[in-house]
């Protein structure tokens, strides 16, 4: 508990003891933590404006503009209405920005790095997940931390798992719980 939070609680409540103020700050944190959100933390599809499902397999992140697109919009874009057939893979472009899909893994990484340098929250998370899959845990933590600074709930959750397992960082239960709580809020 930070001293600043306790001082702010004292200002709000009055001249109560430090123990009462600390309890009040903890109660307020619990109230925020257990409040049910109106929507998913994943947000809405930028094309159809429908909320994303919690199942992350029902959406994809584009590598060109780092936009998350729902599976329905992705499918609708790939389906060519003119002839009623699926378009060839090499002719598919991004449904959001219309740039061509990358043709190689190097081009994909180059696109993601360009978005990472612009501090794009989705790209930072995507790069962290990519590095985590490759077993480069210390680098993944760096990207997860930066995405978490921007308030990304998935980055906070992934950081909590890394602190729990000691992957790329030392095991730390306090940081694990902190990041789990931030992901939940």
Report d(CA 174, CA 166) in Å as an integer.
13
Q: What is the pTM of this model?
A: 0.65
The pLDDT tens digits for 29-69 are 777 666 766 666 778 888 888 888 877 778 888 878 888 88
Q: Is there a contact between 181 and 32 (Cβ–Cβ < 8 Å)?
A: no
Q: Is there a contact between 180 and 154 (Cβ–Cβ < 8 Å)?
A: no
Q: Find residue 86's DSSP bridge partners.
A: 79
The per-type count for the chain, helices as H runs and strands as E runs, is 8, 4
Tokens of 19: 């123990």
């Amino acid at each position: 508990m930070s001293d600043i939070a306790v001082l702010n609680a004292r200002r709000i409540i009055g001249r109560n003891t430090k123990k009462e103020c600390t309890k009040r700050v903890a109660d307020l944190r619990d109230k925020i933590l257990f409040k049910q959100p109106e929507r998913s933390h994943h947000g809405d599809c930028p094309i159809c404006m429908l909320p994303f499902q919690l199942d992350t397999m029902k959406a994809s992140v584009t590598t060109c503009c780092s936009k998350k697109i729902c599976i329905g919009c992705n499918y609708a874009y790939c389906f060519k209405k003119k002839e009623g057939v699926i378009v060839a893979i090499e002719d598919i472009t991004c449904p959001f920005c219309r740039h061509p899909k990358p043709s190689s893994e190097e081009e994909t990484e180059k696109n993601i790095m360009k978005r990472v340098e612009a501090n794009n929250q989705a790209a930072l998370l995507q790069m962290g997940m990519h590095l985590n899959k490759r077993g480069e845990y210390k680098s993944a933590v760096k990207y997860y931390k930066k995405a978490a600074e921007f308030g990304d709930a998935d980055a906070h959750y992934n950081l909590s798992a890394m602190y729990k397992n000691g992957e790329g960082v030392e095991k730390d239960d306090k940081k694990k719980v902190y990041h789990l709580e931030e992901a939940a809020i």
